[in-house]
Amino acid sequence: MKTVYLETFGCQMNELDSELVRGHLESIGYGFTTEPGDAQILLFNTCSVREHAESKAYSRLGIVGKRKKAGEDLVLGVLGCMAERDGVDMLRRYPQVDLLCGPGELDKLPMLIDNVARTSTFADDEASEAGRVALAGNTSRRSAALSATKDDLETLDLARAFDPDRATSAARSAYVRITRGCNKFCTYCVVPYTRGAEVHRPPDSIVEECRRLANAGVIEVTLLGQTVNHYRYHHGVAVTIDGRESPQIGPGLKAFRNEPIDDAGVTTFAGLLARIHDEVPELARIRFLTSYPRDFGDDVLEVMASRPRICRYLHVPAQSGSNRILKLMNRGYTVEEYLEFTDRVLRHLPDASIAGDIIVGFPTETDEDFEATKDLLRRVPFKNNFIFKYSPRPGTTAIDRFEDDVPEAVKKLRNNELLALQAEIGAAAHADWIGREVDVLVERKTNYHRRTSVPRSSADERVSLGSGITAKRDAGGDAGPDPVQISGRTKGDLITVFDVADDATADAMIGGIARVKVNGSGPLLLRGTLLEPAESPMNYR
């Protein structure tokens, strides 16, 4: 059987997709390698959100193209959002690409790989193209086709083979999808086109997946959706295979504290959070990404406040501090509404951390608009903000409607200015914690003290880990008497570093929750001393 190299670009959705793809391929006998040179099948799970993300993937395609030209017998597959956005056009422009598989079609990947192997001698033959391409195209917004594909995809999520033995410590954290796709159509964004229409997974499937992950040793789940707070699952009836309607809800749900299904027969995001918290007590932490600043009800905040194992962390991108720009972006809220929301969060959850994303240089953004964005940053105690320069994306409304008229030099300047401002704001948000005690989910050794280079995780590991946070032991390091630095995250997602005596102590603590006294901070992290060592809460290994 051939060996696969799988590299992932883009967001957490893609990391999760790669984990599922890997599990699926492994279950039918494929082996995986972290060395592209050792693989005969090279798969790139790609991202289209900004041009930069695409150019990284294109450069990989160039490298594989050269190897193929030099005579190597390789299968090259492009998966994910770029495949969906570029479509078959990519096969023409990059003849080295053998197969394309959109994010909504990943369950078909083994078949595509098989087809390529069978038709490899006719790789240029248009007739073979059909068997090598699986894209949702615009069909993903047609409901019949939609439900068919989503059912197959649901199987992929449900068949998830989580293997704690293969995983390193960080794998005690896992992603769980709650919503696919997006219906918001922010004017700059490709996601509604690449991921298709918004579909919410059934709450029973989600709770069951969380339970199975917990049984496999996972102690933290991160629920994923483009706008998690818009999660809504309509219960009622489902059509069974033989065409009869049957109730979808089993008995017993009423036993839970917060009625998880409201009067209209809907499980809301608040209800879902409550169910996961209450029904899977083995999970030490429940997090979620990404929140949308609109329609985030007090019900969610109340569920968070009353349930201690739900993290006090909200990633809720503002994108801009100018109402005029927000309108052009079609975000559907004003700065005042954003601030009303963040104030409300901090009233309900005084310990909450707030993070976000900002786009600078959106078409027509003036100095005044940019000043308004800086004002917004000063107004909210953001622990961090990812700052992006506007990148016009083919297929979006913004590229058709607006000229990309903010010069690159201005975008760069604004980007740097915001980074500097965010560093100050982040420093203040972190400094607030000095003198307090925090619970830290220990993730990895960092060893900044002794080692000049921080060990880099391989792409393959990143794929299997989900959270993307991992470090291998540096084989070159000596196990001297120096203290070992380890890092983890608080319930508010604040990175925290502290020292322990030696490597063995560190190893024993990874994956557990340690009590730490905070005595220092920086723009992006807390420093502390260990009060109570972490004990792995379960028999792991």
- Residues of this chain that interact with ligand SAH (CB under 6 A) are 49-50, 188-189, 191, 226-227, 290, 292, 317, 319, 357, 359, 388, 390-391, 393
Residues that bind ligand F3S (CB under 6 A): 10-11, 13-14, 47-49, 80-81, 190-191, 194-195
253-279 burial by CB neighbour count: b if 16+ within 10 A, else e?
Answer: beeeebebbeeeebbbbbbbbbbbbbb
**How many angstroms separate the CA atoms of 24 and 146, rounded?**
22
Closest distance of CB 533 from ligand SAH, Å: 37
Closest distance of CB 402 from ligand SF4, Å: 16
The string of DSSP letters for 413-439 reads: HHHHHHHHHHHHHHHHHHHTTTT-EEE
Among 6, 42, 47, 186, binds ligand SF4 (CB under 6 A): 186
Closest distance of CB 189 from ligand SF4, Å: 3
Task: Count Cβ atoms below 10 Å from residue 453 Cβ, excluding itself.
Answer: 7
* Exposure of 438 in the CB half-sphere (CA atoms within 13 A): 33
Closest distance of CB 333 from ligand SAH, Å: 11
How far lies 421's CA from each of 206, 359, 477, in Å?
A: 39, 15, 37
Establish if 185 lies at the interface with ligand SF4 (CB under 6 A).
yes
Establish if 192 lies at the interface with ligand SF4 (CB under 6 A).
yes
Identify which range of 79-87, 124-132, 139-147, 183-191 contacts ligand SF4 by CB under 6 A: 183-191
Q: Would you say 198 or 439 has its CB closer to ligand SAH? A: 198
Q: Which of the choices ligand F3S, ligand SF4, ligand SAH, none does residue 388 contact, using the CB cut-off of 5 to 8 A by kind?
A: ligand SAH
Establish if 189 lies at the interface with ligand SF4 (CB under 6 A).
yes
Q: Which of the choices ligand SF4, ligand SAH, ligand F3S, none does residue 485 contact, using the CB cut-off of 5 to 8 A by kind?
A: none
Establish if 320 lies at the interface with ligand SF4 (CB under 6 A).
no
**How many angstroms separate the CA atoms of 183 and 203, rounded?**
20
Q: Which of the choices ligand F3S, ligand SAH, ligand SF4, none does residue 185 contact, using the CB cut-off of 5 to 8 A by kind?
A: ligand SF4
Identify which range of 73-81, 177-185, 344-352, 439-447 contacts ligand SF4 by CB under 6 A: 177-185
Among 226, 258, 322, 487, binds ligand SF4 (CB under 6 A): 226
Closest distance of CB 44 from ligand SF4, Å: 21
Closest distance of CB 422 from ligand SAH, Å: 13
Q: Would you say 180 or 430 has its CB closer to ligand F3S? A: 180
**How many angstroms separate the CA atoms of 213 and 230, rounded?**
24
How far lies 128's CA from each of 64, 93, 164, in Å?
A: 21, 17, 39
Q: Give yes or no for a contact between 381 and 430, defined as CB atoms under 8 angstroms apart.
A: no
Closest listed residue to residue 362, CA positions, set 322, 409, 325, 321: 325
Please, what sign has the CA dihedral across residues 314, 320, 322, 323? negative
Q: Angle, nearest 10°, between helix axes 12-27 and 143-158?
A: 70
Closest distance of CB 35 from ligand SF4, Å: 34
Identify which range of 33-41, 65-73, 189-197, 240-248 contacts ligand SF4 by CB under 6 A: 189-197
Closest distance of CB 184 from ligand SF4, Å: 4
Closest distance of CB 140 from ligand SAH, Å: 17
How far lies 443's CA from each of 179, 447, 484, 496, 498, in Å?
A: 27, 13, 13, 10, 12
Span between the terminal Cα atoms of the chain, in Å: 29
Among 56, 141, 184, 451, binds ligand SF4 (CB under 6 A): 184
DSSP alpha helices (H): ranges in 259-358? 269-279, 298-306, 323-328, 335-348
Q: Give yes or no for a contact between 433 and 312, defined as CB atoms under 8 angstroms apart.
A: no
Q: What residues line the site for ligand SF4 (CB under 6 A)?
A: 182, 184-186, 189, 191-192, 226-227
